[in-house]
Protein backbone atom coordinates (compact mmCIF):
# COMPACT_ATOMS: atom_id res chain seq x y z
CA UNK A 1 0.00 0.00 0.00
CA UNK A 2 1.31 3.46 -0.91
CA UNK A 3 -0.06 6.19 1.36
CA UNK A 4 -3.01 3.97 2.33
CA UNK A 5 -4.38 4.39 -1.18
CA UNK A 6 -3.13 1.41 -3.19
CA UNK A 7 -4.45 -2.11 -2.62
CA UNK A 8 -3.13 -5.21 -4.37
CA UNK A 9 -5.71 -8.00 -4.72
CA UNK A 10 -5.04 -11.49 -6.07
CA UNK A 11 -7.34 -14.49 -6.63
CA UNK A 12 -9.58 -15.55 -5.02
CA UNK A 13 -9.95 -12.29 -3.08
CA UNK A 14 -11.95 -9.16 -3.83
CA UNK A 15 -12.73 -5.92 -2.04
CA UNK A 16 -15.80 -3.73 -1.88
CA UNK A 17 -14.44 -0.20 -1.78
CA UNK A 18 -14.73 2.78 -4.06
CA UNK A 19 -11.74 3.59 -6.15
CA UNK A 20 -9.97 3.34 -9.45
CA UNK A 21 -9.63 -0.30 -10.48
CA UNK A 22 -6.80 -1.62 -12.64
CA UNK A 23 -6.46 -5.22 -13.82
CA UNK A 24 -2.95 -6.56 -14.39
CA UNK A 25 -3.02 -9.76 -16.45
CA UNK A 26 0.01 -12.05 -16.66
CA UNK A 27 2.41 -9.24 -15.82
CA UNK A 28 6.03 -10.37 -15.40
CA UNK A 29 8.14 -9.30 -12.44
CA UNK A 30 10.11 -6.69 -14.41
CA UNK A 31 6.91 -5.16 -15.81
CA UNK A 32 5.40 -5.13 -12.30
CA UNK A 33 8.41 -3.09 -11.21
CA UNK A 34 7.88 -0.71 -14.14
CA UNK A 35 4.21 -0.18 -13.16
CA UNK A 36 5.21 0.29 -9.52
CA UNK A 37 7.83 2.85 -10.53
CA UNK A 38 5.28 4.79 -12.59
CA UNK A 39 2.75 4.72 -9.74
CA UNK A 40 5.25 6.03 -7.19
CA UNK A 41 6.01 9.01 -9.46
CA UNK A 42 2.36 10.10 -9.56
CA UNK A 43 1.71 12.96 -7.14
CA UNK A 44 -1.95 12.30 -6.26
CA UNK A 45 -3.11 8.71 -6.51
CA UNK A 46 -6.79 8.20 -5.72
CA UNK A 47 -7.88 5.10 -3.83
CA UNK A 48 -6.75 2.44 -6.27
CA UNK A 49 -7.32 -1.30 -6.42
CA UNK A 50 -4.79 -3.31 -8.44
CA UNK A 51 -6.11 -6.74 -9.35
CA UNK A 52 -3.28 -9.09 -10.32
CA UNK A 53 -3.98 -12.31 -12.22
CA UNK A 54 -1.38 -14.86 -13.33
CA UNK A 55 -1.74 -17.83 -15.69
CA UNK A 56 -3.07 -20.78 -13.73
CA UNK A 57 -5.30 -18.60 -11.53
CA UNK A 58 -9.10 -18.79 -11.68
CA UNK A 59 -10.36 -17.61 -15.08
CA UNK A 60 -13.83 -16.78 -13.67
CA UNK A 61 -12.17 -14.40 -11.20
CA UNK A 62 -10.30 -12.78 -14.10
CA UNK A 63 -13.48 -12.22 -16.13
CA UNK A 64 -15.31 -10.79 -13.11
CA UNK A 65 -12.51 -8.31 -12.45
CA UNK A 66 -12.27 -7.39 -16.13
CA UNK A 67 -15.83 -6.10 -15.90
CA UNK A 68 -15.04 -3.96 -12.84
CA UNK A 69 -11.88 -2.22 -14.05
CA UNK A 70 -11.31 1.09 -15.76
CA UNK A 71 -7.94 -0.05 -17.10
CA UNK A 72 -6.51 -3.41 -18.18
CA UNK A 73 -2.80 -3.98 -18.66
CA UNK A 74 -1.61 -7.34 -19.97
CA UNK A 75 1.71 -8.92 -20.88
CA UNK A 76 1.68 -10.53 -24.32
CA UNK A 77 4.68 -12.70 -23.47
CA UNK A 78 2.99 -14.41 -20.51
CA UNK A 79 -0.47 -15.28 -21.84
CA UNK A 80 -1.96 -17.95 -24.09
CA UNK A 81 -3.21 -16.82 -27.50
CA UNK A 82 -6.90 -16.93 -26.54
CA UNK A 83 -6.40 -14.44 -23.71
CA UNK A 84 -4.16 -12.22 -25.83
CA UNK A 85 -6.89 -12.02 -28.46
CA UNK A 86 -9.62 -11.46 -25.88
CA UNK A 87 -7.82 -8.68 -24.03
CA UNK A 88 -6.60 -7.08 -27.26
CA UNK A 89 -10.25 -6.55 -28.19
CA UNK A 90 -11.07 -4.68 -24.96
CA UNK A 91 -11.39 -0.93 -25.46
CA UNK A 92 -9.65 -0.15 -22.15
CA UNK A 93 -6.67 -2.49 -22.61
CA UNK A 94 -2.99 -1.74 -22.99
CA UNK A 95 -0.14 -4.21 -23.23
CA UNK A 96 3.53 -4.98 -22.90
CA UNK A 97 5.11 -6.87 -25.79
CA UNK A 98 4.28 -7.20 -29.49
CA UNK A 99 0.87 -8.30 -30.72
CA UNK A 100 2.06 -9.14 -34.22
CA UNK A 101 -1.10 -9.42 -36.36
CA UNK A 102 -3.43 -8.15 -33.64
CA UNK A 103 -1.84 -4.72 -33.50
CA UNK A 104 -4.38 -3.59 -36.12
CA UNK A 105 -7.13 -3.91 -33.49
CA UNK A 106 -5.09 -2.63 -30.57
CA UNK A 107 -1.99 -0.48 -30.89
CA UNK A 108 -1.89 0.51 -27.20
CA UNK A 109 1.58 -0.84 -26.53
CA UNK A 110 3.49 0.26 -23.41
CA UNK A 111 7.18 0.52 -24.22
CA UNK A 112 8.69 2.24 -21.19
CA UNK A 113 8.08 3.78 -17.77
CA UNK A 114 7.22 7.18 -19.28
CA UNK A 115 4.40 5.72 -21.37
CA UNK A 116 3.19 3.77 -18.35
CA UNK A 117 3.24 6.95 -16.25
CA UNK A 118 1.25 8.88 -18.89
CA UNK A 119 -1.28 6.06 -19.19
CA UNK A 120 -1.81 5.92 -15.43
CA UNK A 121 -1.97 9.70 -15.16
CA UNK A 122 -4.60 9.90 -17.94
CA UNK A 123 -6.60 7.05 -16.40
CA UNK A 124 -6.56 8.76 -13.00
CA UNK A 125 -7.65 12.08 -14.53
CA UNK A 126 -10.53 10.41 -16.39
CA UNK A 127 -11.54 8.49 -13.29
CA UNK A 128 -11.53 11.60 -11.08
CA UNK A 129 -13.69 13.49 -13.61
CA UNK A 130 -16.20 10.61 -13.64
CA UNK A 131 -16.64 10.58 -9.85
CA UNK A 132 -17.14 14.32 -9.43
- Region 118-124: mean pLDDT is 95
pLDDT of amino acid 99:
84
Q: Return all residues near 21 (Cβ < 8 A) that are at least 6 apart.
A: 48, 49, 51, 65, 68, 69, 70, 71
pLDDT of amino acid 104:
62
Mean pLDDT estimate for the chain: 91
pLDDT tens profile 13-30: 999 989 999 999 999 999
Q: Enter the pTM of the model.
A: 0.92
pLDDT tens profile 38-94: 998 998 899 999 999 999 999 999 999 999 999 999 999 999 999 999 999 999 999
Just give the CATH number of 6-131.
3.40.50.2300
Amino acid sequence: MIGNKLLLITPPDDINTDGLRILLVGISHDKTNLISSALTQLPNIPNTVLYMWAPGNDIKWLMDKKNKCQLIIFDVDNLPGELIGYFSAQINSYYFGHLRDLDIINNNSILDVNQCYELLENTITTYEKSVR
